[in-house]
């Protein structure tokens, strides 16, 4: 995951006409990663719904005892 400040720096360097390989060297990222973030631009992250996960180990005990 890349931080917003680093993304803004990558986009600004690209806007200035600096090559992807030069940006990658400056930021320490792989050129494919730099290219991916340049193509995406600035966008809000899209988070999906959370999964319920597995039930608690004590769930069966709580249901058999009623309310505690």
How would residue 64 be classed by pLDDT, with cut points 50, 70 and 90?
Answer: confident
Helix extents (H) in 1-68: 4-15, 20-27, 31-40, 59-65
Largest CA distance in the chain: 68
Q: Where are the domains of the chain?
A: 1-43
What are 11's two structure tokens?
A: 């986009």
The pLDDT value recorded for residue 45 is 62
Q: What is the pTM of this model?
A: 0.62
Q: Which fold has domain 1-43?
A: Arc Repressor Mutant, subunit A (1.10.10)
Q: What is the pLDDT of residues 24-55, one digit of tens each?
A: 999 999 999 999 999 998 876 677 777 777 77
């Amino acid at each position: 995951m890349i931080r917003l400040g680093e993304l803004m720096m990558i986009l600004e360097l690209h806007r200035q006409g600096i090559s992807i390989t030069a940006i990658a060297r400056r930021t320490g990222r792989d050129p494919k990663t730099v290219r991916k973030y340049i193509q995406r631009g600035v966008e809000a992250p899209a988070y999906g719904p959370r999964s319920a996960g597995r039930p608690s180990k004590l769930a069966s005990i709580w249901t058999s005892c009623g309310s505690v």
